[in-house]
Structure 1
Amino acid sequence: MTDTTAAPVTAPVPPAATARVLAEAARAVDAPDLVLAVSRNGVRTVHTGGSAEPGPVLRELMAYELGSASKPYAGLLLARLVAQGRVRYEDRAADLLAPGFPVHPAVRRITLRHLLTHTSGLPGLPADFYPQAVPRWSTDPYGGYPADRVVRAFLRARPRHRPGTRWHYSNFAVSVLGHTLAAATGTPWEVLLHQQVLAPLGLEATRVRPGPDGTDAVGHRRDGTPVPALDTGGFTAAGAVRATPLDLLTFLEAHTGGAAGSPTDSSLAAALTEVTRPVLRRGLRHAHTHTLTWFQHPTPYGPVLFHAGATLGQQAFLGFRPGTGLAVAATATRRVHRADTFVATAYGLLTETP
């Protein structure tokens, strides 16, 4: 599948104008801590704010929980391993994860591509996840469900439909992908992600575990009480990444060319190109387009690629416009309520600004 939408040429936007746009956008978001950051061909503009008193560490230097916005990191990792010839998109997960183990025929057909693109037929979370999670839903729903349990749930799963036929968003599937890549390479997921993605892109303030005291943003409930740091249990690949807004811009700039241009490593450059290509369409009249790991929407300024995520007390948004040099990263500690405007505001910065 190809996308022939061309991005119109626009005049350079002065940083001062971008700063005014960010300040205006920030007024629409009710959050204790908020960071809105834009990169235009590597020229960065960052706005920080929020209703809470600033702490000793600048908001843009704190690491925020990305939740589901961690998935583009998993996608780039898979694409790079494929570019290196270490795995293939069509490799069957069960064969890599537990060779010879008896599984349901539909599970046997699930490939690495199916897991990443949410077309595996697996549910959003394993069925037996909820009994242990519900009693601690507002404090630690994932920590009691470790990696070996995720793997066992996959091997005994009964997919809802034939792999590759329907799209259904699944944290379960992307988590299985992480465990499968770790098994296929003989390398723990955290180490693999660091070696293949974080270190090559210079993402020194990005990690999958809490950092030293005072370096991580603290989430908030609606009443303002703090939320414990997220423990993803066995669902690391689907939602464990933590990063500073500045590192998020670096990650996005790698996809757009940014200030540093294309990576010199051929497998990384190939992976960055691969994850921007549309691979499936879904919904009414196939209106929804996806790459391996990004949602894609059309805009008057060309297609945008993006992903959002949320944890119990934090939110993140990542997006960019291929071929234009524009990238938007947004993070917030949040008060959860129905009128939340964080994602819409960040999305508007990506889609509505020239």
Structure 2
Amino acid sequence: MNGVRRQARAVAGPLLAPLAAAAPGASAVAVAAHLAGERLLAVGGSTAHGAAGLPAGPETRFAVGSVTKTYTALLLAELVAVGDVRYDDPIDRYLPPGAAPYRRIGGAPITLLHLATHTSGLPRLPPGLLRRALPRWFSNPYAEYGPGDLLAALAHTRPFAAPGTRVRYSNFGVGLLGMLLARAAGEPFGGYERVLAARVLTPLGLLRTGGDGAAAEDTTGYWHGRARPPWRIPGLAGAGVLHAGADELLRYLEALLYPGRAAGAGPLATALAEVARPRLVVRPGEDRIALVWNIRQRPGHVLCFHSGGTRGSTAFVGFSPERRVALVAVTNSAPALNGAFIQRAYLLLRELAGGTTRFGAPSPIG
């Protein structure tokens, strides 16, 4: 164990090198890891290119895109733990009259669990969203698409498969889940961020994690070298609204590694333990899906992971419950077509959990 701890102390800085190389155009890259009981953080660069940039640090926030979905899954598990909802609740229970999607006569309804496991049969995006987003496609495509628009689209949606029969990643589904959970918790459909803060973020001490980045210390996003505004995403908040720093992202993963330490013996601790439990098998003996989290079997342990991206950010989070290892990697440049940053981050997580990491010298970010 002492040898592992000595190695752990040397990890975080050198980890920046391969991640920075996989993030061309970024002004900042951050990596945080939990390994052998130690917290390791390294941040390089500045919040923006040029004179406007401030030195980036552990609390500097990045847009995390679809990593938000994992928080929505935890919110679902918390509401289940306190008895406010059930996983098998049909979504119709929380929808206004006339908003439910098409269902075959005698067919099974879409449930909250279907939304959280990408088995709802809903498409990746709400019908009509792309047409609405095109005028702002390269800046803020979802800014003018609100909860009412999503509900209107849902009423005209015909699922491509019966609920529970096929896995297909759906921003629509998890965005809808966030809205329904807000409603179940007594808020309007647009109250996702308030409910998430009250039920998950504040109890876990994640006080800087939240919606659109407007503070001076938040990173400016870059896409092909051009600065991009932070996304506003009111209609799909549960699918991608959050911004967070490397420090709080790691604290979030540590809560998943040690539920009792993070939340005592209450319902949130139950939710933290429940959220990463496998729900279905995607490929026999290989990939599984928990509540939103992807799970991959490795020799003697599993890896739970998720990634996210916006027009100006890329994020990866993952952990191994058995090995008590977690990794955060974030940068303020859009995902590359080859997925290099996310792939590099996943491999680092795999190496850390497998005990096979080798480190080179750190390199500058630019």
Normalising by structure 1, report the TM-score.
Answer: 0.89
Runs of 5+ in structure 1 lacking a partner?
A: 1-8
- Contact 1:48–1:59 (8 Å) recurs in 2: yes
**2:45 is aligned with 1:47:** no
- Contact 2:297–2:303 (8 Å) recurs in 1: yes
What are the within-5 Å matches in structure 2 for residues 53-64 of structure 1?
Answer: 55-64=53-62
The alpha carbon displacement at 1:336 in A equals: 5.1
Task: Work out the CA distance in 2 between the residues paired with 1:135 and 1:105.
Answer: 33
Match of 1:166 in 2: 166
Give the counterpart letter for 1:34 in structure 2: V
Which residue of the other structure, out of 190, 193, 216, is the alignment partner of 2:193? 190
Give the counterpart letter for 1:38 in structure 2: A
Match of 2:364 in 1: none
Q: Structure 2 vs 1, CA of residues 10 and 74 (structure 1 numbering), >3 Å: closer, same or farther?
A: farther
What are the within-5 Å matches in structure 2 for residues 89-168 of structure 1?
Answer: 89-98=87-96, 103-106=101-104, 109-168=109-168
Match of 2:234 in 1: 233
Alignment partner of 2:235: what SS? coil
Aligned residues: 342
The alpha carbon displacement at 1:46 in A equals: 1.6
Alignment partner of 1:201: what SS? coil
Moved >3 Å (runs of 4+): 50-55, 99-103, 335-340
Match of 1:5 in 2: none
Task: Work out the CA distance in 2 between the residues paired with 1:304 and 1:264.
Answer: 24
Deviates more, 1:136-145 or 1:293-302: 293-302
Deviates more, 1:285-294 or 1:246-255: 285-294
Match of 1:37 in 2: 32
Match of 1:220 in 2: 222
Give the counterpart letter for 1:218 in structure 2: T
**2:202 is aligned with 1:199:** yes
Residue deviations 1:254-309, cap 9 Å, x none?
A: 01118x824214201110111111101124x4632111121011234611101000
Match of 1:253 in 2: 254
Task: Work out the CA distance in 2 between the residues paired with 1:264 and 1:209.
Answer: 30
* Pairwise CA RMSD: 2.4
Task: Work out the CA distance in 1 between the residues paired with 2:98 and 2:138.
Answer: 39
Deviates more, 1:33-42 or 1:60-69: 33-42
Residue deviations 1:201-233, cap 9 Å, x none?
A: 000110023343x121110121x2210111113
Give the counterpart letter for 1:28 in structure 2: A
**2:74 is aligned with 1:76:** yes
The alpha carbon displacement at 1:23 in A equals: 4.0
Task: Work out the CA distance in 2 between the residues paired with 1:111 and 1:340.
Answer: 32
What is the percentage of aligned positions where both structures have the same residue? 36
- Contact 1:67–1:239 (8 Å) recurs in 2: yes
Q: Structure 2 vs 1, CA of residues 98 and 60 (structure 1 numbering), >3 Å: closer, same or farther?
A: same
Give the counterpart letter for 2:11 in structure 1: T
Runs of 5+ in structure 2 lacking a partner?
A: 356-366
Normalising by structure 2, report the TM-score.
Answer: 0.86
Match of 1:320 in 2: 319
- Contact 1:33–1:59 (8 Å) recurs in 2: no
Task: Work out the CA distance in 2 between the residues paired with 1:124 and 1:221.
Answer: 22
Task: Work out the CA distance in 2 between the residues paired with 1:338 and 1:96.
Answer: 38
Task: Work out the CA distance in 1 between the residues paired with 2:334 and 2:100.
Answer: 46
